[in-house]
Chains A and B, each alone.
Chain A
Amino acid sequence: MKLSLNFVKDYIDLPEDLTVEQIAEDMTNHSSEYDEAGKLINATNLIIGEVIECEAHPDSDHLHVCKVNIGKEVLNIVCGAPNVRKGLKVIVAQVGAKLPEITIKKGMIRGQESNGMMCSMLELGLESKFVDEVDKTGIHELPTDAPVGEDPIKYIGLDDEVIDFELTANRGDLLSILGMAYELGAIYNKPVKDIDLAHKENNEDINDSFKVVVNTENCSLFTAKKVKNVVIKESPEFIKSRLIASGIRPINNVVDISNYVMLETGQPLHFYDADKLDGMLEVRMAQNGEKLTTLDEVERTLHDENIVISDGKRAIGLAGVMGGLDTEITDSTKNIIIESAIFDGVKVRKTSKELVRSEASNRFEKGLDPNRTYMAQERACALLEKYADAEVVGGIAKYDTTNKEDKKIEVKFKEINQILGLNIPDEEILEIFTRLGFTYEKKEDGAIVSVPTRRIDINIKEDINEEVGRIYGVNNIEGILPALPMRRGSFDKTTREIRNKMIGMGLNETLSYVLVGENEAKMFDTSDTESIKLLDPMSEDRNTLRNSILPSLLNIYKYNEARYNKDVSLFEIAKTFYKKGEEFGEEQHLAVLMSGEYYQGIGTSKNVDFYIIKGIAEEILDYLGYKNRYSFVTDNSKIAKEFHPGQSAVISVNNDAVGSIGKVHPSLANDVFVMEINLDKLLAKKVGKMKFKEISKFPSVNKDLAIVVDKNLQAQEIEKQIKKIGGSTLTEIKPFDIYTGKGIDEDKKSIAFNLVFSDSTKTLNDEEINGILNKIIDGLQKSLNATIRN
């Protein structure tokens, strides 16, 4: 909302010394924030001049050398505008003038002295939509009676100051000059002046020849008045300049008055050419597929959620959004039907979002005051009578279901102070009501406040509390901490601890987008779920919620690889999403991607391989308490096709898959290793408390055992067998050497284990240990066809 200070000063006397910046700041602290505040035309050092001589420049085919009288002196100015000529009254930017694009300096133009510039409105910073063709190609032409030596901006009525407010959705009342006047009045404690509605009406009654019909619950108030014999012409200067300051392009007196009244009252009006109507206006919902060509000459196809105005036969306007082309005001219009109405904000909002936004729809969406609906009719008639020579027909045709009474809300002084944490005396609270233009009936401990209908945002006592707070000034409130019972907040730090552990192991934490491309979302995921697509994505590459974090990490890897960041060890903890049947779900995952060098140092540097990332997985599982309860299982039916089939595994805890790990398939990336764990699933598995175990007083015994087995037999399988036979005295078991080649059959391998035996009750002797060892060897021979390697 662009607030013209000249405009609002019609309705309120602001303190003399107040600057536009101060008003903007005060409004920000008490009401609404602003984007910009300042002069409508920012250019400085301008003066009205008259071209008294105009000669072609000797060295140019388009420049003119002019002498311009600015009253106090005559300036020599070189000008390139095609319309410069002797006798023209012009706007002169004197030396030192600051225009939006340039600062004017003394200069020589092709050998001719030039002491200033003759300007177009465009050069002075007026938006191009307000500028006519003359100003677009040449300089601005002032009327012949323009006074030389005076301020041209004041002369053309654009010496205005404007504050561009960013209004919140609830303050529809501030989308009007009157609303702003009430707001400023409350802040500066000044009364708001009455609006001039006075006009004559003829003896006819509109209701004798015209009717309004409302056939939908989405219109609560519909009024029509008629004026006759209007004379279409240019608007007076003050209307044009105020429209410009408010950001609306002047057209002609009639159209301008409809916009002017909307700006003043907040009530959008629509003017119909009465001679193109058939004695009635009807409000109804559109039929599906119904067509309507709006004022902007676009044919629109409607549906039954759009409210339309009909002439009884067909739609002639999109209610609250835009009028129709067929019944619009033209230069030959004589008689006008003025529509002032209230349509359902939600419906208007939907329609305008689908089709077109307008100043009108913006106001309907935020809600309107029924008393203003009538006021706007009267004001439009008054202005049309005065500035378009209109004859106002008596009476008003209407359909009205609205309540036009003030809202009565009871408040308690104590509650107001309590919620604000303040101690405002009762009298001061009552004074704030008066400043806001609210009347009240004082009670012992509070008041019954009458809230005028213009304040559609105020409905409950909390709304009144807020009014008191903001007019009093919320920045006057002293902040204190609430005196709440002492306690420690509850907070599951597991995720943070996992993060710290990963960082401790040398990984860099990433933060990636949850939205990915449709064909990426299910990568690395073999669960029987679907991915979730957005209804209305912003782009194809971010149209689906990811089921796995790994596609994101892979993209990050590629981004870095392209920038020669080859050594990457990344992790991220984030939500992933899935759809199962009709149910949506989300799960916290931990994902890791590693490639390039991991261990650093001369002679010890080591690139990532499967066993390094497996180490990361084991470390985090051990750290979380799952020691000895997990395994890495080769099961290609559960491994996604994005993995290398021979270097990947399911991570299984308590024999339940919680994630996967492995090398990325070489068709996707070279030497990249990844893993992903479903943290929600993993952390749901209970772990025991850390508990001290007595350290054995008896020495343990180390034995190495090398066996030859089938080449494809996994170490884990052998370990399992050894453990089973070894029993409780076998406390540790670790493979330490793998050998294939000379001395071993081609389809075999040798694998050596280090076994540790101990007993907490006695020292184990050779005999006992050899006994167990022999049992293990026998067992392995039987179950795995293993032989002892000598």
Chain B
Amino acid sequence: MINKMKDQIEQIKVTSIEEVKNAKDLRELNDLKVKYLGKKGELTSVLRGMKDLSAEERPVIGGLVNKVRDELNELFDSKEKELEEAELAKKLEEEKIDVTLPANKPKRGSKHPLNRVIEEIEDLFVSMGYDVVDGPELETDEYCFERLNLPKGHPARDMQDSFYITTEHLLRTQTSAVQARVMMANEEKSPIRVIVPGKTYRREDDATHSHQFNQVEGLVIDEGITLAHLKGTLEVFMRKLLGEKTQLRFRPSYFPFTEPSYEVDVSCFKCGGKGCNLCKQTGWIELLGAGMVHPNVLKMNGYDPEKYSGFAFGTGLDRLAMFKYGITDMRYLYRNDVRFLTQFDQLDR
């Protein structure tokens, strides 16, 4: 009896090992587990026959069954792991994709080169404690000219052919118009440090002049402001935009709202001042107008010229943007060809 049972157990062990080995998937393996180790499984039913055994024999068979069950459990576990891994591998293989296919995404945006330059300038001056302010583009004659020491009939008005709307209203010809606004708006007449980037308009249109263009104006008013401060500030400004080696040259000039007035050249960043096509062989590129705020302008806008002095500067941004990105024709800036715009799609670094 006991030997017959031992044989039976051995037989179960041999066939089950064989079947487990051949199991193809987790489902088949699970079926086998039920078949051999389940409540109604073959090994359990062997135990049921133990009631016919003697008290001495029972532990022998019980021990044997437990040993085989442990062995089988271990076998099932390892086979299960093996099958799981195989199935995962198969699944991963099936999920393989071509990573070189194009991405799914919205079109790529881009920032206009002119605004890129404006932002760079804003950041620089904000870091030096300047406020960034804005003013109307549709200005009055008073703010655009008269409060800047340019009365009606002044010959310097010829420098800026204007788009008038009425005899008293025009599109601002210069961001300098905001100078007077800032001074007038400051009720305490306290020190001023501002830049004004924005659109300006003049009645001219050719290959190098657009009737609409952009300027940035700078104005500092405080006690003891000197020409040397203007020079130092413009050096920082131009070197940030055009490179640390940039040199400045001041040439006497005339603007009714500054005294003294200068036109400021920068050393040609293309040839380094040796002379090239860009600088017309002069080594210099004219870039800014600047000067010390005229005492009449201070007075007219409520500042005491005996107490305060100041400097102001202005520069055209269209050319700066062209220089910075190597844009060959100013008209590209306003044509808005998508093939132009999309070139400015990355971080300025």
A790 to chain B, nearest CB (A): 37
- Chain B contacts for A535, CB-based, 8 A: 163-166
- Inter-subunit contact A586/B137 (CB<8 Å): yes
- Chain B contacts for A491, CB-based, 8 A: 122, 126, 131-132
With A and B bound together, what is the CA distance between A502 and B199 in angstroms?
Answer: 21
Q: Which of A349, A480, A513, A565 contacts B338 (CB 8 A)?
A: A565
- Inter-subunit contact A349/B102 (CB<8 Å): no
- Chain A contacts for B233, CB-based, 8 A: 479, 481-482
With A and B bound together, what is the CA distance between A514 and B105 in angstroms?
Answer: 33
B254, closest chain A residue (CB) = A168
- Inter-subunit contact B341/A508 (CB<8 Å): yes
- Inter-subunit contact B203/A536 (CB<8 Å): yes
Say yes or no: is A556 at the interface (Cβ < 8 Å to chain B). yes
If A479-B228, A511-B112, A602-B102 touch, does A484 touch B251 (CB 8 Å cutoff)?
A: no
- Chain A contacts for B250, CB-based, 8 A: 474-475, 477
Interface flags, B227-257, vs A, CB<8A=1, else 0: 1111111111000000000001111111010
- Inter-subunit contact A366/B155 (CB<8 Å): yes
List 14 additional A-B contacts (Cβ < 8 Å) besides A349-B155, A475-B249: A29-B252, A346-B152, A422-B228, A460-B295, A479-B231, A481-B229, A481-B232, A482-B229, A484-B191, A488-B126, A506-B109, A575-B199, A600-B105, A602-B104
- Inter-subunit contact B153/A489 (CB<8 Å): no
Q: In the complex, identify which listed stretch (A122-130, A566-574, A686-694) lies at the interface while the others stay far away.
A: A566-574
A534, closest chain B residue (CB) = B163
If A32-B252, A169-B155 touch, does A489 touch B111 (CB 8 Å cutoff)?
A: no
Say yes or no: is B130 at the interface (Cβ < 8 Å to chain A). yes
- Chain B contacts for A487, CB-based, 8 A: 129
- Inter-subunit contact A565/B104 (CB<8 Å): no
Q: Which of A170, A489, A586 contacts B138 (CB 8 A)?
A: A586
Say yes or no: is A327 at the interface (Cβ < 8 Å to chain B). no
Which chain A residues in 529-572 approach chain B with CB under 8 Å? 532-538, 542, 545, 556, 559-560, 563, 565, 567-570
A478 to chain B, nearest CB (A): 6
A568, closest chain B residue (CB) = B338
Q: In the complex, identify which listed stretch (A58-66, A99-107, A461-469, A656-664) lies at the interface while the others stay far away.
A: A461-469
A404 to chain B, nearest CB (A): 23
Considering the complex of A and B, which 8 residue pairs feature the smallest CB-CB distances, nearest first? A421-B228, A601-B104, A346-B153, A168-B254, A479-B231, A421-B226, A503-B109, A466-B260
- Chain A contacts for B137, CB-based, 8 A: 514, 575, 577, 586
With A and B bound together, what is the CA distance between A512 and B158 in angstroms?
Answer: 26
Say yes or no: is A31 at the interface (Cβ < 8 Å to chain B). yes
Interface flags, B137-170, vs A, CB<8A=1, else 0: 1100000000000001111101100011110010
A539, closest chain B residue (CB) = B205
If A168-B254, A488-B126 touch, does A536 touch B336 (CB 8 Å cutoff)?
A: no
- Chain A contacts for B165, CB-based, 8 A: 532-535, 545, 584
Q: Which of A347, A488, A600 contacts B104 (CB 8 A)?
A: A600
Interface flags, A491-514, vs B, CB<8A=1, else 0: 110001001101111111111111
Say yes or no: is B108 at the interface (Cβ < 8 Å to chain A). yes
- Inter-subunit contact B205/A538 (CB<8 Å): yes
- Chain B contacts for A349, CB-based, 8 A: 153, 155, 158
- Chain A contacts for B156, CB-based, 8 A: 168-170
Q: For the complex, would chain B's binding face be called helix, strand, loop or mixed by DSSP majority?
A: mixed
- Inter-subunit contact A419/B226 (CB<8 Å): yes
**Residues of chain A having any CB pair with chain B under 8 Å:** 28-33, 168-171, 345-347, 349-350, 365-366, 418-422, 460, 462-463, 465-466, 469-470, 474-475, 477-482, 484-492, 496, 499-500, 502-515, 532-538, 542, 545, 556, 559-560, 563, 565, 567-570, 574-575, 577, 584, 586, 597-602, 604
If A419-B292, A505-B106 touch, does A486 touch B129 (CB 8 Å cutoff)?
A: yes
With A and B bound together, what is the CA distance between A239 and B114 in angstroms?
Answer: 53
B260, closest chain A residue (CB) = A466
- Chain B contacts for A477, CB-based, 8 A: 227-228, 231, 250
With A and B bound together, what is the CA distance between A533 and B171 in angstroms?
Answer: 11
- Inter-subunit contact B107/A469 (CB<8 Å): no
Q: In the complex, identify which listed stretch (B38-46, B49-57, B80-88, B217-225) lies at the interface while the others stay far away.
A: B217-225
With A and B bound together, what is the CA distance between A598 and B108 in angstroms?
Answer: 9
A467 to chain B, nearest CB (A): 9
A-B contacts, 10 of them at CB < 8 A, read: A29-B251, A30-B252, A462-B295, A469-B227, A481-B232, A488-B129, A503-B109, A511-B114, A513-B211, A569-B109
- Inter-subunit contact A509/B104 (CB<8 Å): no
B102 to chain A, nearest CB (A): 6
B156, closest chain A residue (CB) = A169
- Inter-subunit contact B222/A168 (CB<8 Å): no
Say yes or no: is B92 at the interface (Cβ < 8 Å to chain A). no
- Chain A contacts for B225, CB-based, 8 A: 482
- Inter-subunit contact B262/A506 (CB<8 Å): no
B256 to chain A, nearest CB (A): 8
- Inter-subunit contact B102/A512 (CB<8 Å): no
B211, closest chain A residue (CB) = A538
Say yes or no: is B59 at the interface (Cβ < 8 Å to chain A). no
- Inter-subunit contact B104/A489 (CB<8 Å): no
- Inter-subunit contact A489/B339 (CB<8 Å): no
If A349-B155, A600-B105 touch, does A489 touch B131 (CB 8 Å cutoff)?
A: yes
A516 to chain B, nearest CB (A): 11
Say yes or no: is B294 at the interface (Cβ < 8 Å to chain A). yes
- Inter-subunit contact A463/B259 (CB<8 Å): yes
- Chain A contacts for B254, CB-based, 8 A: 168-171
If A514-B212, A535-B165 touch, does A421 touch B227 (CB 8 Å cutoff)?
A: yes
With A and B bound together, what is the CA distance between A515 and B138 in angstroms?
Answer: 12
- Inter-subunit contact B101/A602 (CB<8 Å): yes
Q: Which of A475, A479, A534, A556 contacts B336 (CB 8 A)?
A: A556
- Inter-subunit contact B211/A542 (CB<8 Å): yes
If A484-B193, A506-B108, A509-B111 touch, does A537 touch B125 (CB 8 Å cutoff)?
A: no
B169, closest chain A residue (CB) = A584
A351 to chain B, nearest CB (A): 11
With A and B bound together, what is the CA distance between A490 and B130 in angstroms?
Answer: 7
Q: Which of A419, A532, A542, A586 contacts B227 (CB 8 A)?
A: A419
- Chain B contacts for A559, CB-based, 8 A: 335-337
Say yes or no: is B201 at the interface (Cβ < 8 Å to chain A). yes
B198, closest chain A residue (CB) = A575
Which chain B residues in 188-208 approach chain A with CB under 8 Å? 191, 193, 199, 201, 203, 205
Q: Which of B115, B131, B251, B259 contacts A33 (CB 8 A)?
A: B251
If A496-B119, A511-B333 touch, does A565 touch B164 (CB 8 Å cutoff)?
A: no
- Chain A contacts for B122, CB-based, 8 A: 491, 496
- Inter-subunit contact A563/B337 (CB<8 Å): yes
Interface flags, B299-336, vs A, CB<8A=1, else 0: 00000000001000000000000000000000001111
